[in-house]
Amino acid sequence: MGEFDLIRRFFLPLAQQRRDGTLVAGPGDDCAVQRLAPGTDLVFSIDTLVEGVHFPGHYPPEYLGWRALAVAVSDLAAMGADPLCYTLALTLPAATEDWLEGFASGLAKASDAFGIALAGGDTTRGPLTITLQVHGSVPAGAAITRSGARPGDLVCVSGTLGDAGEALNWLSCDEPGPQARAVLHSYHYPRPPLALGQALRGSASAGIDISDGLLADLAHILEASGVGAQLGADKLPLSEALLALHNRDKAVALALTSGDDYQLCVTIGPDSFQSLPEAVRIQLTVIGTVEAGAGIRLTGAPARLDAGYDHFREYS
Amino acid sequence: MGEFDLIRRFFLPLAQQRRDGTLVAGPGDDCAVQRLAPGTDLVFSIDTLVEGVHFPGHYPPEYLGWRALAVAVSDLAAMGADPLCYTLALTLPAATEDWLEGFASGLAKASDAFGIALAGGDTTRGPLTITLQVHGSVPAGAAITRSGARPGDLVCVSGTLGDAGEALNWLSCDEPGPQARAVLHSYHYPRPPLALGQALRGSASAGIDISDGLLADLAHILEASGVGAQLGADKLPLSEALLALHNRDKAVALALTSGDDYQLCVTIGPDSFQSLPEAVRIQLTVIGTVEAGAGIRLTGAPARLDAGYDHFREYS
């Protein structure tokens, strides 16, 4: 199958899906064209997934399609943006129809779930590598950045942490039990909390998505804001599945240091937190407080913790 | 070197360079933020270069930095867009300082030459693959697309054609002569005619950049516009260097079918063409006419021609 047939068959259908009003022209020309509503900012981010580094070899293509878009969309959630469209640069070793069908199917489901349309792309032959750029919008000036955390702000996270990290131990298991299946689902089908991010615009002082592990990602907020934080390890939200698979110390270590959860970590003033609608507030767990100074002061943590994830470390 | 050190040292300087007014926030957060002037459209395109497919193994990194941005910017030229910013997703096997210095240097020179700033990126470990997304703008509705060609329009190209294709024969030559050095320069340092593309907004009825070969790329315009064209092979602009290296038939064959020139092919009504400022008109060579029907009717061409470039064919 040549490049053009492949695009026509597998990817153009993704462009017709959920096409929103901002896309003046989608795939099929040298560039795509987008017209934003007046008074809005474009928010965009590019992310690459490499086989053997960000996902295992022979990873099922349907999971990969979902994950690739979820990982990228997670950056929009962190900024509080409304998703608009994405571009896909797909490098693959051979145009296997089975693989492409699975990948496009996962991508289509994720496009639907996250409300985002394919705007354009490039398909090339080479080692399996997937790069997506996502576009979103916020009212002008309203993007949630990493640099607004102030002493006294609460440190909050969404969802539960550590599940996707634990899933890495079960990827090759032929017959995982129900708890292992639950953490594997978190890994295969991450759901970045987009609506939560949007609801936190104007309230959160800073935000980031947890892709590399809570400690590593919170450290980015603290560094960008010139502050420190104290965290209570006993306050971390842990899933029942994770606590069934491990003792509490190991579960806490995973929640602090393992990546791939794609939940949000935000800071927010106590008054702003109390003013959040209850439906928003209950999606957040308060795990600590921003302090003057630098670094993270951790209470109640297990004695040994691994360092945060670095994309230059190979998959184990 | 870890991911963050690498970004700080080699890529953040590219972001400070030429930062324009539309970039509200550049690298360093989950997303970059861009605010377009009212009444403008965002024009964007993503492109991947894979080692061994789009450039040779062990290709000098400085050339690669330039080429990667030039290839991407070429799509903006085709739409008549003003360049704004780009994102870079770089996958590389090892963080070699020499390689990174060369690559960043080529990229910096191209950023300067094309007037475009780095807005964000992702750096990952894996087989050498470079994906760039470029952003540009046009007055709302003014992007030059592929679908506006009408019978009677002139078919024009910029620059000379075939040089980059010929360069492939000289990449491994230790001591190329002056003509070979000239075509090699066209290959290593393509210069998409951005200003020409912008000057053709409102005049050209359709446009495309010549990345895969004139016949293949013109065919995209004709298909999108529902028309055909006649081309005079004797009218193709050929460089002195190419004509010194080959007989005319071989030079014409390269000009028609080889890729990587990154010149423009546009269609334009005869009256609009005559109304172009002379400084713009002399950058174009009229090589044929759009006709009703479909396909390309070629006169004066050599008997044998290869098919157009397909990204799924390996580098020879």
In this prediction, residue B210 carries a pLDDT of 97
Using N-to-C axis directions, what is the helix angle for A248-257 and A214-225, rounded to 10°?
50
Averaged pLDDT for residues B208-213: 96
> Which fold, A154-299?
Phosphoribosyl-aminoimidazole Synthetase; Chain A, domain 2 (3.90.650)
Distance to chain A for B205, nearest Cα, Å: 14
Best mutation site among A131, A212, A217, A309 for testing chain B: the one with the most B CBs within 10 Å? A131
Model confidence at B245, in pLDDT bands (50, 70, 90)? very high
Give CA separation, B126 vs A57, A126, B83, B123, in Å: 13, 11, 29, 10
Interface residue A217 vs chain B (CB under 8 A): no
Cβ–Cβ gap A145/B25 under 8 Å? yes
Touching check for B308 and chain A: CB below 8 Å? no
Contact A32, A123 (CB under 8 A): no
- Phi-psi map region of A126: left, alpha, beta (phi>0 left; psi -120 to 50 alpha): left
- Smallest CA–CA distance from A95 into chain B, residue: B312
How confident is the model at residue A20, as a pLDDT?
A: 66
Q: Which two tokens stand for residue B52?
A: 């061994």
d(CA A217, CA A215): 6
B314 touches chain A (CB under 8 A): yes
**Res B1: pLDDT:** 67
* Per-residue pLDDT at A312 exceeds 60: no
In this prediction, residue A13 carries a pLDDT of: 83
Is the CB of B31 less than 8 angstroms away from the CB of A143?
yes
Q: Which residues on chain B are in Cβ contact (under 8 Å) with A2?
A: 310, 312
Q: Is the pLDDT at B16 greater than 90, yes or no? A: no
Q: Is A266 on the interface with B (CB under 8 A)?
A: no
Cα A279 to Cα B28: distance, rounded to the nearest angstrom: 31
Are B48 and A89 within 8 A, CB to CB? yes
Instruction: Dump pLDDT digits (tens) for B96-141.
Output: 889 999 999 999 999 999 999 999 999 999 999 999 999 999 999 9
Please write the tens of the pLDDT for every residue from A88-103: 999 999 878 899 999 9
The whole-angstrom distance between A99's CA and the closest CA on chain B is: 16
Torsion angles phi and psi, residue A253, rounded to 5: -60, -45
| CA pair distance A179, A198, nearest whole angstrom | 31
Q: How far is A137 from chain B (nearest CA, A)?
A: 9
Q: Is A208 helix (H, G, I), strand (E, B) or coil?
A: strand
Topology of the domain covering A3-139: 60s Ribosomal Protein L30; Chain: A; (3.30.1330)
CB contact under 8 A, A45 and B120: yes
Report d(CA A63, CA A69) in Å as an integer. 10
**pLDDT value, residue A314:** 35
- pLDDT tens digits, one per residue of A14-47: 887 555 678 888 888 999 999 999 999 999 999 9
Identify the residue with better confidence: A20 or B231: B231
Q: What is the pLDDT of residues A120-156, one digit of tens each?
A: 999 999 999 999 999 999 999 999 999 999 999 999 9
Does the pLDDT value for residue A58 go beyond 80?
Answer: yes
Tokens of B120: 């964000």
B31–A54: do the CB atoms touch at under 8 Å? no
Place of tokens 């002061």: A297
Q: Which residue of A has its CA nearest to B314?
A: A125
Q: Nearest CB to B31: which of A45, A224, A311?
A: A45
- In this predicted complex, what is the ipTM? 0.90
Cα B242 to Cα B254: distance, rounded to the nearest angstrom:
9
Each residue's pLDDT tens digit, A260-305: 999 999 999 999 999 999 999 999 999 999 999 999 999 987 766 6
CB pairs under 8 A between A and B: 209
Task: Answer whether A92's CB lies under 8 Å from A6's CB.
Answer: no
CA distances from residue A205 to A265, A272, B114 in whole angstroms, order as listed:
11, 9, 37
The residue to which tokens 């099922």 are assigned: A60
Q: What is the pLDDT, as a whole number, of residue A316?
A: 28
Helices (H), B80-131: 97-114
Over residues A169-178, mean pLDDT = 92
Q: Which residues of B touch A310 (CB under 8 A)?
A: 2-3
What residues have CB less than 8 Å from A36, skipping those under 6 apart? A22, A42, A137, B36, B42
**Best mutation site among B12, B20, B33, B47 for testing chain A: the one with the most A CBs within 10 Å?**
B33
Which chain B residue has the Cα nearest residue A94?
Answer: B312
Which of A41, A50, A127 minimises the CB distance to B35? A41
Cα nearest neighbour of B74 on chain A: A30
State chain A's mean pLDDT as an integer.
Answer: 91
- How many CB atoms neighbour CB A237 within 10 A? 17
Q: Which of B35, B87, B131 is the best mutation test for A, with the most CBs of A within 10 A? A: B131
Residue of B nearest to A86 (CA): B46
Judged by CB atoms closer than 8 Å, whether chains meet at B52 and A126 is answered as: yes
CATH 3.30.1330.10 location in chain B: 3-139
Contact between B201 and B142 under an 8 Å Cβ cutoff? The reply is yes
Beta strand A23-25 with B284-291 is unpaired
Q: Report whether pLDDT(B4) > 80.
A: no
pLDDT at A308: 44
pTM for the full predicted model: 0.92
The structure tokens listed for B144 are: 């030059």
d(CA A288, CA A229): 7
Task: Judge whether residue A231 has pLDDT over 90.
Answer: yes
Q: What is the pLDDT of residue A285?
A: 98
pLDDT at position B17 is: 59
Of A42, A50, A88, the CB nearest to B126: A50
In sequence order, the 6+-apart residues with CB closer than 8 A to the CB of A299 are A230, A231, A232, A233, A234
What local confidence, expressed as pLDDT, does residue A7 receive? 79
Start-end of CATH 3.90.650.10 domains in chain A = 154-299
Residue pair B211/B262 in contact (Cβ under 8 Å)? The answer is yes
Would you say residue A307 has pLDDT above 70? no
Contact B27, B11 (CB under 8 A): yes
Question: What is the model's pLDDT at position A271?
Answer: 98
Q: How far apart are CA A205 and CA A227, in angstroms?
A: 12
A259 token code pair: 């990546």
Angle between helices A61-79 and A97-114 (to 10 degrees): 30
Q: Beta strands of chain A (E only): which ranges?
A: 23-25, 32-34, 40-50, 82-92, 117-125, 129-139, 154-158, 204-210, 228-232, 263-268, 284-291, 295-299
- Cβ separation A44–B34 shorter than 8 A: yes
| Res B18 pLDDT > 90 | no
Q: For residues B61 and B98, give the distance between their C-alpha atoms in angstroms, rounded to a whole number.
A: 9
Residues B11, A30: Cα–Cα separation, whole Å: 26
